Amino acid sequence: MNLDDILNEAEDTPPRTDGKPKTDTPPPRQQQAEPKRRRPPWAPKLEAQIADAYRAIGAGFAMTGDEFSSALIGSQAPALATAWVELAERDANVRKTLERLMSGSAWGSIVMMHIMIIFPILAHRDLIPGELGQRLKLMTMFMQETPDYPPNGNGTAT
């Protein structure tokens, strides 16, 4: 059967009497729901840790007065964490890296403690340019002006 035969046959077919147009297409197949995939036992904990890490980053923006960035990061934290964990489920190296980053290791704590000291000092010395520097400098205004320890290191104040 060629194209002319098909067109001629279509012209010879009487119209439907029920008012509906003639269709030769079968009804659409109903899509089966994907079976729920089982998550590894480590996935929920890692996902929560990653989401918390993103929320902490968002809190850092809030501390500098950037509420927009803070809200955006906070609102996307669950989706970002889910995406990372899905990747970790497929790639063992990603999983190991994420677990190391989220483990709260002693090195991670030390680095964070130093960042919390260095950034305010840099802002106080006007060494962080732009709006971030201005916001951090405002933060330092609320910090204690004089340290609790003697500045000369010998137990007496100068």
Q: Which one-letter amino acid corresponds to residue 99?
A: E
Percent of the chain topping pLDDT 70: 62
Give the length of the chain.
158
- Residue pair 62/70 in contact (Cβ under 8 Å)? The answer is yes
DSSP secondary structure, 72-120, as one string: HHHHHHHHHHHHHHHHHHH-HHHHHHHHHHHT--HHHHHHHHHHHHHHH
At residue 9, the pLDDT reads 63
Number of Cβ atoms within 10 Å of the Cβ of 98: 21
* % the chain with pLDDT above 90: 27
Helix (H) or strand (E) holding 56: helix 43-63
- Each residue's pLDDT tens digit, 22-67: 666 666 666 666 667 788 999 999 999 899 888 888 887 787 778 8
129: pLDDT strictly greater than 90: no
Show Cβ contacts of residue 132 under 8 Å, excluding neighbours closer than 6 positions: 64
Q: Alpha-carbon distance 114 to 122, whole Å?
A: 12
Query: 9-18, 24-33, 98-107 — which one is most confidently predicted on average?
Result: 98-107
- Mean residue pLDDT of the chain comes to 77
The Cα-based distances of 96 to 22, 41, 42, 52 in angstroms read 59, 15, 11, 18
pLDDT above 70 (res 18): no
Max Cα separation, the chain? Answer: 110
- 3 state SS of 131: helix
Query: Which residue would you say has higher pLDDT here, 65 or 101?
Result: 101
